[in-house]
């Protein structure tokens, strides 16, 4: 579920992670274009629209998976599925806004508007003391947690500059 959990996060996290994932997909598509090979689905920045990509992902992958999990764990049905439904509604509204030609649509990447204390890794944040990838230096940051933090279970509001491991 970790690989498909981004649409199950509250605002603004689901938007930030959407941008990060699409940025990674688009980088792959750019490399494929430069190599002259067919561009993988959802990796062509000239074709893919954020709302459409998320609506399909939520409707056909995320929501069905969480519905099955909700049958096993009722708390998922009560607390996570409403978040997914709200996020799906957000993307459907964004699609409608694009179709109506409203110039007020947020065009800039949410992730690019955030200020990070260091460049974010492609897949996770690291907490102080957690093993890093090869060739990655450990940074001592005041206030960074010693261990990975489960944001959903903690009930706290953490920002991306607090050295968190998000998996």
pLDDT, one tens digit per residue, over 115-138 is 333 333 443 333 444 444 455 454
3-class SS at 8? helix
- For 67, residues 6+ apart whose C-beta sits below 8 A from its C-beta are 77, 81
- For 132, residues 6+ apart whose C-beta sits below 8 A from its C-beta are 126, 138
What pLDDT sits at residue 135? 52
Residue 163 contacts residue 141 (beta carbons within 8 Å): yes
Residue 72 has pLDDT above 70, yes or no: yes
Q: What is the pTM of this model?
A: 0.60
Residue 166 contacts residue 124 (beta carbons within 8 Å): yes
Mean pLDDT computed over 151-166: 45
> Regarding predicted confidence, which is higher, 52 or 153?
52
């Amino acid at each position: 579920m970790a690989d498909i959990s981004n649409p199950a996060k509250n605002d603004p996290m689901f938007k930030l992670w959407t941008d990060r994932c699409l940025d990674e997909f688009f980088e792959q598509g750019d490399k494929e274009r430069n190599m002259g090979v067919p561009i993988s689905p959802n990796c062509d920045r000239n074709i893919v629209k954020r709302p459409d990509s998320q609506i399909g992902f939520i409707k056909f992958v995320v929501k069905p998976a969480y519905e099955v999990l909700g049958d096993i764990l009722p708390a998922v049905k009560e607390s996570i599925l409403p978040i997914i439904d709200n996020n799906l509604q957000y993307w459907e509204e964004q699609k409608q806004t694009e179709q109506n030609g409203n110039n007020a649509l947020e065009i800039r990447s949410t992730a690019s508007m955030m200020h990070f204390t260091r460049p974010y890794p492609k897949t996770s944040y690291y907490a102080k003391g957690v093993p890093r990838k090869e060739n990655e230096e450990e940074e001592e940051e005041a206030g960074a947690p010693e261990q990975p933090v489960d944001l959903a279970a903690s009930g706290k509001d953490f920002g991306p500059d607090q050295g968190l491991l998000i998996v």
